[in-house]
A and B are shown apart, each in its own frame.
Chain A
Amino acid sequence: MAFMSRLNLIFAWLGAALFVATGFMLSWEVVARYFFVSPTIWAAELSQLCLIWGTLLAMPWALEKQRHIVVDAFVLLLPARTRTLIDGLVMLLTAAFCAMVVWKGGEIFWDSYIRGRGSGTMLGLPAWIAELAVPVGFVLLFVQSLIEAARSFGGRDTASGGEQL
C-alpha cells in the first residue's frame, strides 16, 4: 500500500507537469503562428497526448486522496459503520468497472498495436500511444479501488471530500 501511495503521488506530479507542458506548448503555438507565421505541427497533438496521459495517470492519486467529485449529503446522515460498509461496496463496484475498462481498453490498444494503426494526424504518431493510457490508468485505478475498499471495510470513515469547482 505504501508502494502504491508513492507511485500514485509520482504519477500525480507527472500529470501536473504534463498539464503545465500543454500550457507552454500551446502558447508557443500562438506565438509561432502570429509572430513568425509558422504554425507548429506538433503543439496541438502533443498537448492532447499530455491531457490523456496526465488525466489517466493522476486518477488513482485522486481516488486515494478523495479528490473525485462525490455527493455526500445523504451518506453523512447514516451511522458511521453503515457508511464504511457502503463505501467499501462502492469501491468494489468501481473496481469492477475498472476491470472491464482495462480489458476492453486493452483490446483497443492491442488491436492498434498489432495492425500498426496510425493516428491519421500530421505527426503520424501510432494510435496506440494514446490508447495505451486507458488500460494503464485503469489498472492502477483498479488496484487503488481495491485498497480503498479494504480500508473502508476495515472501518476507515471519511466524513466528506471531493474536488470542487
Chain B
Amino acid sequence: MTVILIIGALFSLLLLRMPVAFALGGLGLALLLIGGFSPLMAPQAVLSTLDGFILLAVPLFILMSNILLKGGVGRDLFAAFQAWVGHWPGGLAVATLISCGVFAAISGSSVATAATIGTVAIPEMIARGYERKFVYGLLAAGGTLGILIPPSIPMIVYGFITEESVLSLFLAGIVPGILLLLFFVIYSMIYARYLGGYTPEAPVSWEERVRATLRALPSIAMGLLIIAAIYSGAATPTEAAAVGFAFSLIITGVVLRTLTWRGFIDAAFEAMATTVAILLIIAGAKIFGKAITLYRIPQDISAFIGTTIDTPAVFILVVSVVLLAMGLVFEALSMVIIMTPVLLPSASAMGIDPIWFGVFMVIMVECALITPPVGLNLYVIQAVAKAGLGEVARGVLPFLLLMFATVLLLYLLPDLALFVPFKL
C-alpha cells in the first residue's frame, strides 16, 4: 500500500511539471519527516552527491563535447567518412552512422551526437535525394549511440547510484554499441539499395580522401586515446574526461584553429546549464533513494517480483515494457535515476549481472529517447531539420525494431556485454 502511495505521489508531482530534481528531493524529504527519520539526511545527501569524484566526469565530458561541437568537429568527421564510403549504396547514410559512432566515442550524450552530426548530415542527405523520413529516423537513432558507446553520462550516473565500476560499464557498452551501429549500417544499405531512390555517387579521389582523413584524425585519435587511457587503468574516467577536455581545447583551438573565444565561452556556459540540471536530479534522487530504503520499498518490490515473476526472462520482458511505457513521457536520464534503485535489487536477486543490467537499461532508455511524444532526439532532429514530429517519429520505427533485436541478442548472449570487461 505504501508503495503505491509513494509511487503515485511521485508520478503526480512529475506529471504536474515539478522539476524532476525537486520532486524527488521534496518527496524524499517529506517521507523522511513523515516516517520520523532525521531530515538532516536531505542536505547530507546533496553534499555527498556533489562531493563525488566520479560525478566530476559529468561536466568535463559535456565541456569536451561542447567544445568539439563549436569547433566544427562534426563536419570534419562526416567529410572524412563520406570520402571513404560515400559511393557505397546508401553511402551517405553509412558515413552519417559511422560519424555518429565516432562522435559517440568522444561524447557522452545522445542529444549532442544527434545535433552535431545532424546539423551537417541532414541537409547533405536531403540534397542527394534521400527520403526525409528515413534521414530523420537515421539521425535520431544514430544519436542514441552516444550513450551506449563510452564515454556515457547515463552510465556514469548508473555507476554512481549502484556503486558499480564505471570502467566496467564503459567497457561493457563497447561491443553492443558497435553491434547496434552495424545493424543500422546494414539496414541503411539495404534500404538505399532496394527501397530508397538510390543514385550511385562517384568515388572521390585519393588525394581528397587523405586530406579529409587528416583533418578528422585528431578527433578520432582523441576518442581512441580516451578509451585506451580508461581501459589501461592509466586514468580514472574523471581524469580521462579532464584530459579529453584539455585535448579538445588543443585540437580545436591550436591545431584546427576553428574554436573562437566566443565559441569557447558559449560551450562553457551551455555545459554549466546541462551539468546543473543533471547533478541536481542525482542529488534529488539520492534523498528519495534514502527515504524509500528506510521505508523498505525496494525490498518490498523485490519480494513482490520474487513471488510473481519466476524467471529472469519474464523479469526482463516486464521491465522492458515498463521502461518503454515510461519512455513515452520521461526522458532518458530521469528514467535511469528513478528506476535503477527500484529495479536493481530484484535483478540481483534473479542472478542478473548488475553491469549487464546497466547496459540493458541504457539501450532501453535509448528507445525512450526516440519514442514520441517525449523523445529528446526526436526534438533535436525536429529542431535541426525543421521537420514535423510525426515525420521524424515514423522514420524512427525501423531503427527502434533494430534496437529491440539488439536487446534480445544481448539477453541471449550476455557475453556480448560482459566479455570485454571481465573475460578479456
- Which residues of A are at the interface with B, using a C-beta cutoff of 8 A? 12-13, 15-17, 19-20, 22-27, 29-30, 34, 44, 47-48, 51-52, 54-56, 58-59, 62-63, 65, 67-75, 86-87, 89-90, 93-94, 96-97, 100-101, 104-105, 107-108, 130-131, 133-135, 162-165
Contacts and interface: CB of A to CB of B under 8 A. Distances in A.
A19 B47 contact: no
Contact of B245 (A23, A59, A65): A23
Contacts of B109: 165
B98 to A, nearest CB: 23
Interface of B: 13-22, 25-26, 29, 33, 39-40, 42-44, 46-47, 50-53, 55-56, 59-60, 63, 109-111, 153-154, 234-235, 238-239, 241-243, 245-246, 268-269, 271-281, 328-334, 373-374, 376, 379-380
Nearest to B245: A23
Contacts of B279: 51, 55
Nearest to B38: A104
Given A44-B53, A55-B275, 13 more contacts: A16-B269, A26-B242, A34-B234, A48-B52, A58-B272, A69-B278, A73-B328, A90-B17, A94-B18, A97-B26, A104-B39, A164-B111, A165-B274
Contacts of A90: 13, 16-18
B153 A70 contact: no
A12 B272 contact: yes
Nearest to A52: B50
A63 B272 contact: no
B43 A105 contact: yes
Contacts of B272: 12, 15-16, 19, 54, 58
A94 B18 CA distance: 8
Q: Which 3 A-B pairs give the minimum distances between C-beta atoms?
A: A26-B242, A163-B277, A105-B43
B384 to A, nearest CB: 13
B244 to A, nearest CB: 9
Nearest to B240: A30
B16 A75 contact: yes
Given A52-B51, A69-B334, A165-B153, A19 B268 contact: yes
B60 A165 contact: no
A89 B40 CA distance: 25
B329 A101 contact: no
B276 A15 contact: yes
A47 B15 CA distance: 35
Of B47, B274, B374, most A-chain CB atoms within 10 Å: B47
Most A Cβ at <10 Å: residue of B25, B275, B277, B334: B277
A100 B39 CA distance: 8
A101 B18 contact: no
A150 to B, nearest CB: 17
A54 to B, nearest CB: 7
A84 to B, nearest CB: 11
A69 B50 contact: no
B110 A71 contact: no
12 contacts: A22-B60, A26-B56, A29-B242, A47-B56, A54-B59, A55-B276, A59-B280, A62-B273, A67-B276, A68-B20, A71-B17, A90-B16
A48 B25 CA distance: 21
Given A107-B40, A165-B332, A71 B47 contact: no
Given A23-B63, A75-B15, A55 B331 contact: no
A67 B20 contact: no
